[in-house]
Structure 1
Amino acid sequence: MALFRETADVSVRPAVPGDEDAVTRVQVDAWRATHAGTLGGATDLLDVDVMRTRWHDAITAPPGPGFAVLVALDGNRLVGFAAVGPGQLLALEVDPAERRSGHGSRLLAAAVDRLRTDGAEDVVTWVLEGDVARERFLGESGLGPDGTERALATGVRDVVERRWSATI
């Protein structure tokens, strides 16, 4: 027998101290599931302890005005996160097992709301070459590539990111 909820028990809220473990887990799992081929093994070299420390710092002591970390919850389980800075969507990841459940859309909407509240009129984000699912998601959400590219050295191979943007 299938159980159905009368109301969805999903939400987005600001990250709080203690969320850094789950945020790190989501990021590592998402990067390994999505980017392992593109990054040529660099995802196997991730320093999880350093990542956890950086997320703790971002949550407890943002580097300046306009920076925030938001988390998506399914019940009391953290299943995704977004990080914003002035006019930028710095990161948005959802646990690979929870994708296509609306968490990414809720996170993006909350991130854009936060950017607007902070006075932004535009949003930019970067997409790693070959991340077709993210391109589709962002395109369906109203963002598009603006022709700007940058090369990143991963320590294993160089990769290309393309900037996507939209007026908000």
Structure 2
Amino acid sequence: MSTVSVREAVEADAAEIARIQRVTWRTAYQGVLSEQALAELGSPGIEARWAEAIGHPGSRIHLAVEGGFTVGFCVAGPAPREDVADAAGNVPADADRTGLIGTLLVEPRWSRRGHGGRLLAAAAAGLRELGAGRGITWAAESDAATLGFYRRAGWHPDGTVRTLDTGERRLRELRLTGALDIQLVE
């Protein structure tokens, strides 16, 4: 069996992160996201945006590695107030201690090998280091695989929903929340 690990991304990883996002979104979100949104993943600026994200203070990008291949990534950092607020705009008392899992993607051909769990556990540990007491993320209401993954990790919808305009259609997302003391069972 290949060696598996999680490490923090460096700027040189930007192209590989962009590739994983492109492949994963085109596979998993075909029919959910607009063709325009999927086409933008091939734009020349996407790698530069990922390089900028890697250097963004306060957030971390974790990479899942199997053997010599980068197979997934997770972006985590402090949750923006608008992501923590409820539908009426009320901000909870723990808003300043809430972390956000902005993106967690594993390339489909590498799925079901524990990479998602390792990425989530590493991101949760990093958020705890930043002082976060709980985490949130957003997932497409129609994405049963992602919703199931977070449910198995103990994260559940909290009743807050948002609708994003993807250019050609609307995407309804559920906010999930959960503890950051994630324990992996291998």
Q: TM-score, normalised by structure 2?
A: 0.81
Residues 139 and 42 (structure 1), Cα distance of their counterparts in 2 relative to 1, 3 Å cut: farther
Shift of residue 43, structure 1, vs aligned partner: 4.5
Structure 1's unaligned 5+ residue stretches are: none
Shift of residue 46, structure 1, vs aligned partner: 1.9
Given the alignment of the two structures, is residue 28 of structure 1 paired with residue 51 of structure 2, yes or no? Answer: no
Q: Which residue does the alignment assign to 2:171?
A: 159
Structure 1 vs Structure 2: percent identity of aligned residues?
38
**Aligned letter for 1:113?**
A
The secondary structure found in structure 2 opposite 1:26 is helix
Q: Which residue does the alignment assign to 1:51?
A: 46
Shift of residue 18, structure 1, vs aligned partner: 1.1
Q: Distance in 1 between matches of 2:161 and 2:132?
A: 22
User: Does the 8 A contact of 2:34 with 2:167 survive in 1?
Assistant: no
Q: Name segments (4+ residues, structure 1) moved above 4 Å.
A: none
Shift of residue 50, structure 1, vs aligned partner: 2.4
The aligned runs of 1:8-87 (5 Å cut-off) are 8-48=2-42, 49-59=44-54, 61-62=55-56, 64-65=57-58, 67-86=59-78, 87=99
Q: Which residue does the alignment assign to 1:103?
A: 115
Shift of residue 32, structure 1, vs aligned partner: 1.0
Post-superposition CA distance 1:60-90 (Å, at most 9, x none): x21x32x111101011210000000111000
Q: Which moved more, 1:35-44 or 1:86-95?
A: 35-44
The secondary structure found in structure 1 opposite 2:11 is coil
User: Does the 8 A contact of 2:4 with 2:64 survive in 1?
Assistant: yes
Q: Distance in 1 between matches of 2:128 and 2:13?
A: 24
Q: Distance in 1 between matches of 2:21 and 2:139?
A: 15
Shift of residue 41, structure 1, vs aligned partner: 2.5
- Count matched residues: 159
Q: Which residue does the alignment assign to 1:94?
A: 106
Shift of residue 17, structure 1, vs aligned partner: 1.8
Shift of residue 51, structure 1, vs aligned partner: 2.0
**Aligned letter for 1:32?**
R
